Each structure stands twice: as structure tokens, then as C-alpha cells.
Amino acid sequence: MNREIITSSRTGDSCIHVKHKSGLDIYIREMSGFSSVYALFGTKYGSVNTTFKVAADKEYTEVPNGIAHFLEHKLFENEDCGVFELFAATGAQCNAYTSFDKTCYLFSCTNNYTENLRILLDFVQKPYFTKENVDKEQGIIGQEICMTNDNPEWRVFFNMLRGMYHNHPVQIDIAGTQESIAQIDADLLYKCYDTFYNLNNMTLSIAGNINADEVLAICDEMLRSCEDKGLETIFPDEPETVVQAEITEKNAVGASIFHLGFKCRPDKRNFLKKEMTASLATSYLTDASSEMYSRLLSEEIINATFGGEVFAGDGFFSVILSGESEYPHKVREAVLAEIRRISAEGIDEKVFSRIKKATYGDLVRQLCNVTAMASAMLNTHMAGFRPFDVVDIVSELTAEDILGFIRNELLPDKTVLSVIEKI
């Protein structure tokens, strides 16, 4: 095993990275004095990865939408008993999630972390799919799709994505559709499992009251060696233009809600820097002390729900402003006017300094949070970076970086306004 200690030159915090002989990347953060443990076992496989091949394949395989999420559900069911019962017997909490570009299985506990780690590594490496349990799951996930389709927050978000992306599969619901999941069978699940759940495509991240040598001994015991199959995933070409500038629906909501999205250009090579630049630019634009925010609030065009976030991943990148408003078009007008003003007048250095310090402080505080640290180690690795890179990147960002992003990426012809109006 190649074992290295990664240390932040700015904070002195460190973690251990091991490239295990099985092919798995392992990140360990020993946090003495903490009572809890948080672990994630993840694969770089999400809902957008529907077209792929390995080195031995002549052609790409295309699979139905929703299969990554379907597979996550099925791994919790093995031949003997349910995985939840195994974790419950140790006093641990377990869960899993499928996002657009990854799937993770996790547990948190205060005791018996070695036993829980064995359970985690065991069940994720033991798929069990039959026609009967796949048919049963189709009904369960079908109900889940119906529930999310009725969720206004879900609809306003995906309507925005459908207005933004022509071809990229990020516009498709993570769970797929009733029609797409009906095409899933046990053979397809095994094919996707064998392709994406290869340990060379996976990461184990664990933080808290643990001992690195114990963790690695369990990994030696539980992990099976995997040959790197040379996995390739591709996405259809995506134009820089948006599909539709505005999408409106009516629903039984207490207050009308909106998502104002800016379609930005993805940058895989400099992903982390662009993500953090976008994050600070978004915070600057939605700052509660700004004249725009105060005016919109006093005129009751927005309320305290107004805010922004960066939504980015493999082949997609956007900034989203959202909240409750009966006047979403006025919000859009005000935001675009503020972008024009900032582009012409520049960044207020005092405001920028405050936002940057707050962001840096949040990142440093996360280094003392078991859950946040385990998640950060996994997420940065899957994005192609090292755990403490984000601290260095934020510390080096300048007002000119933020201004450049606002001028070059937050463009009026790249906006999509998605609204769910109150009936």
C-alpha cells in the first residue's frame, strides 16, 4: 500500500491517504477527543452516467435513466437479511444517497465502529439481484417518483434544469421515470455494478474517533482485489445556449417559489477554483447588507428565503438564486441590473473581504466536524483534488477573480427563470 500523510500548510490539519492494493482509495482522518465516527463508501457513479464502456468493450453501453439510484436501493437487500437490521444491532445509523455524479453508502456511530465498517464494506461488495426483488423495487421507486413529481421544490428545480440543458442528462430526475425504470432488470444491474463498483472507481472516507491502523487492517481483511477495467463515461455535446428562458407552473403552494439559474461553462481542469469563485460571487450578489437585497426586502419582493448556491458536477455548472416571491420577474430584473452595476463599478473590497473571511472561517470550522471532514475528503477526491486544496484556493481568491466570474459567466442570455405560482 502507498500511504501518505496529507497536511494543510495553512492550518496544520492532516489526514491519511492510502491507495490500497485492492484498487480502493482510502482517506482517514483521526480526530482524537471526538466521540463519533462517520464513514462513507462511495463510487463515482451517479444519475448522469448512462453511457459508458470499459477497455474491453468495442462499443459504448447506454442504460436507462435512474439505474444508479435503483442499484443503490437494491444493495441494501442481501440474501440473508436487510442491511438496516445489521447496523441497528450495533447502534449505528446508516443511509445512502445517489446524486448526479456519485453514489455513497454511509454510517455514523459512537461505538463499534470496527464492526460497522466491516458491515459497510461487506454489503456494498455483495450484490444480490433477482427478477422478483427487481420487480418489487420497480413498484417502490415508481411511488417515489410520483411523490417527487408532486413536490413543488423538486419541480421548480428540475424545470429550471430542463430549461437550461439541451442534451446533458443532468436534466433527468435522479430516480428516472416510470418508463425508464420499467426497462431495468437484474442483468442490467449486474452490468452496471460490475462496471462502476470496481474498487478502482471507489473511495472510502472515514473520520472521527478511529485508529488508522485498525481501519487499514479491516480493509485488508474485507476488500477483494479488482482489476482496473479502464472505465470511460461520455456525455452528449451540450450547447452553451439555454433551451427556454422561462418556465411557469401553478401548484397548491403557500407562496410562489422561483429558481433563477445561470448556465455557466464547466471547467473540469480548474473545477474547484471555479466552484469556490462562483460561491463567493454568489454570496456577494445575494449579500443581505447590499442595497439590492435591502430594497427588494423592504418592497416585499423577496423575503428571508432568498439566497444562492452553486450547482456543479461532471459536465454541468450553474449558479442558482432562489426563494419565495410573488414577483419573480422583478427579482430577475433587479439581479440582472445588479450584475450590470457590479460589472461596471467593480467589487467593493470591504464587502469582498468580509465574505471571503466568512467562507474561509466556515471551511476551517468544518475541519473540526466529523461528518463534514469525511464528506470533504470523499468529494474532493472524486473531483480530482486533495482534501485541503479548497482552503488554499479560497485564501488566494481575489476581488478580480470574483468580478471576472460575474462579468463572464452571469450573462442575461444564459438565464432560466423557473416559477411555481400559487394557485
Q: Which residues contact 249 (CB under 8 A, 6 or more apart)?
A: 155, 156, 159, 419, 420, 421
Catalytic residue among 59, 62, 72, 221: 72
Encode 148-183: b = buried (16+ Cβ within 10 Å), e = exposed: eeeebeebbbbbbbbbbbeebbbbbbbbbeeebbee
Encode 266-292: b = buried (16+ Cβ within 10 Å), e = exposed: beeeebbbbbbbbbbbbbbbbbeebeb
Q: Which of 129, 124, 236 is nearest to 172 (CA)?
A: 236
**Is 409 annotated in the active site?**
no
Cα-flanking dihedrals φ and ψ of residue 121, to 5°? -65, -30
Q: What's the CA gap between 375 and 369, in Å, rounded?
A: 10
CB 222 within 8 A of CB 22: no
Residue where the block lists cell 426497462: 183
Cα-flanking dihedrals φ and ψ of residue 15, to 5°? -145, 170
DSSP of 37-67: EEEEEEES--TT--EEE-TT-SS-EE--TTH
Grid cell for residue 208: 472521527
Grid cell for residue 221: 481483511
Q: What's the CA gap between 8 and 150, in Å, rounded?
A: 45
**Please, is 293 exposed, middle or buried when counting C-beta atoms within 10 Å of its C-beta (0-12, 13-18, 19+)?**
middle
Assign residue 66 a region: left if phi > 0, alpha if psi is -120 to 50, beta otherwise? left
Q: DSSP 3-state assignment of 98?
A: strand
Q: What's the CA gap between 24 and 213, in Å, rounded?
A: 16
Q: Which residues contact 234 (CB under 8 A, 6 or more apart)?
A: 51, 52, 60
Can you say how many angstroms the Cα of residue 414 is from the centroid of all Cα atoms in its chain?
22
Catalytic residues: 72
